[in-house]
A and B are shown apart, each in its own frame.
Chain A
Amino acid sequence: MDQSQIAEVVERYLKGEMDSQEKQAFEEARKHNPELDQAVVEYHFFFEEMVRYGEVRRFKSNLYDTHHTLQENGEIKELQLTAGTRIINMWNKYRRVVTVAASIAGITTLFISGMITLFSPNRPIRDIEELRRKVSNLEKQSSNQTAEIKNFKSKIEPGADVKFGGTSFLIDQKGYLVTSAHVLKGANRIYVQSNDGTDYLAEIVKKDLNTDIAILKITDEEFKGNKQLPYGLGKSKNDLAEPVFTMGYPKDEIVYNEGYLSAKSGLQGDTMSFQITISANPGNSGGPVFNKNGEIIGILNARQASASGVVFATKAKYIQTLVDEIKNSDKEENIKVKNISSLKGISKPEQAKKVQDHIYMVKVVLS
């Protein structure tokens, strides 16, 4: 008998898989063969350890899975020592009820708003100004000089009619960007320009006019992927008066602005967006709204024409919704959205420095 045959016989013996005749013969052989006897003792111990090892491994993997599942369900979340944990617990407990109630409410709202749109006359005044930038002839001329210097980098064919500009930001370092859908209106070709002035060709992956969010993908061969994103989509609750900041391209270089969250709903109670008080200009459309921890909480899209400093931003959770839609419909686009931000607790200039390389100008070519 060679070693592995011994192993097999001993395992069958120890597991009680032998019939009585075989067992008797084996025990007889064991009496006369001290080597076999030693093997049985060793394997007895070894198999016990092996079985325990297997069980501990399974238990550990169950623990790991459980943690993961509970985290996905939101039953485990990062602890905020100051926040009302009780409320969070209640939310967890009644989430299903709330979700059902909310969807019923949502459907009703959609129905009613549909009816209103159907029966009401055209909206009297459009008290809202989208923040995409018209690149006027005058501005173009003034920037011509700088453009010439930068020309070696620019891929946009000379004479192309760059009509509108906006801002976009990476949500996946592989080159997926988020911007406002209205920025891309009528686009024939889209370029995004990084903070260092390089243009990259981009394509629309999906846009949703309802939430005014679009997802772009940089298709340019020269784009080699960006370094890891320092920010993620915020999951925490947003509070009134919470300080926020944005970065964008109202002009040809990146501009930082800060303000605060002033209302939890947008124009005329639009719950898909919220209102912030910040100085924003055409060109800021599609820019990210960060909270003080550097989590993205929204996308700038419009300002109220009749008031100054009143700006609206689509809530960031709709980015996730759109990403999920893409995932479900198209297996090829593998967009991974981060939820963790590494900008917590560092100074504003540091935050801006880390963020700026991930914010791109959007240039829309109409012709």
Chain B
Amino acid sequence: MWVTKNPHWVLKKRIVASQDQELAVFRAIGNNDKSAIESVYSENYALIQHFVVSNNGTEDDARDIFQEAMMVLYEKARQADFELTCQIRTYLYSVCRRLWLKKLQYARRIETQVENFDKLVPVEEDLEDHDKLTLQYQTMRTAMGKIGEPCKSLIEAFYVHRKNMHEIAGFFGYTNADNAKNQKYKCLVRLKKLFFAQYKNA
């Protein structure tokens, strides 16, 4: 069931970036830098895709697992005391492998890996952190889901899309930035209540 066909792409010589470059890319990921995301994405997606698809996954599974691993990478890059001791590729692969095996619940029984890619780093703790952060994110997302319109869009425009009050006033049709600001704070008071209610439940 666990196919480990000979993957051509690992035999291909990769131009390995120097450690400094690798670290710079890693930091840029933490800053949500689009071109860094794109380069890491395009360099590593095929590896993960091959791993997931050849281990009973679909194309969609591959995308989900890879994006979740990118989230973990992002969280680590933002964490000041985290030090990247291996290549981004190795880290992503280790995380994806762990996530995928967990998803299949075969973790204990099967320890297969893609041929020619046996470098693995321990990521157990990082994934525990990731679960905590995901829970926190979910808490805010649930609160956001309950607040209703126009509050949701208004708050997202300010805090997610980082629009200024002038743009927001124009977009939502407030007569001026001050009115939009007042509305924003009214929404914020409600969101804070919802958030803490949700937080206590979780």
Q: Could you tell me which A residues sit within 8 Å of B by CB distance?
A: 3-5, 7-8, 11, 42-43, 46, 49-60, 62-67, 69-70, 75-76, 78-79, 81, 84-86, 89
Contact = CB atoms under 8 A, between A and B. Distances in A.
B8 A84 contact: yes
Given A54-B162, A60-B71, A42 B196 contact: yes
B8 A53 contact: no
Given A49-B136, A54-B160, A79-B59, 12 more contacts: A11-B188, A46-B192, A49-B140, A50-B140, A53-B141, A53-B160, A60-B71, A63-B70, A66-B41, A70-B38, A70-B45, A81-B53
Contacts of B159: 50-51, 53-54
A52 B78 CA distance: 11
Given A4-B186, A85-B8, A67 B67 contact: yes
Contact of A56 (B34, B45, B137, B188): B137
A197 to B, nearest CB: 40
Query: Can you list the 8 inter-chain pairs with the closest CB atoms, starting with the nearest?
Result: A4-B185, A53-B140, A54-B160, A54-B159, A86-B8, A3-B189, A7-B185, A57-B160
Nearest to A53: B140
Contacts of B63: 67
A78 B59 contact: yes
B9 interface: yes
B94 interface: no
Contacts of B45: 70, 75-76
Chain A: interface secondary structure? Answer: helix
A76 B38 contact: no
A47 to B, nearest CB: 9
Interface string B157-187: 0011010000000000000000001100110
A89 B49 CA distance: 14
A56 B34 CA distance: 13
A196 to B, nearest CB: 35
Nearest to B187: A4
B109 interface: no
A75 B67 contact: no
Contacts of B70: 59, 63
B103 to A, nearest CB: 18
A367 B127 CA distance: 73
Nearest to B68: A63
B42 interface: yes
A210 B121 CA distance: 58
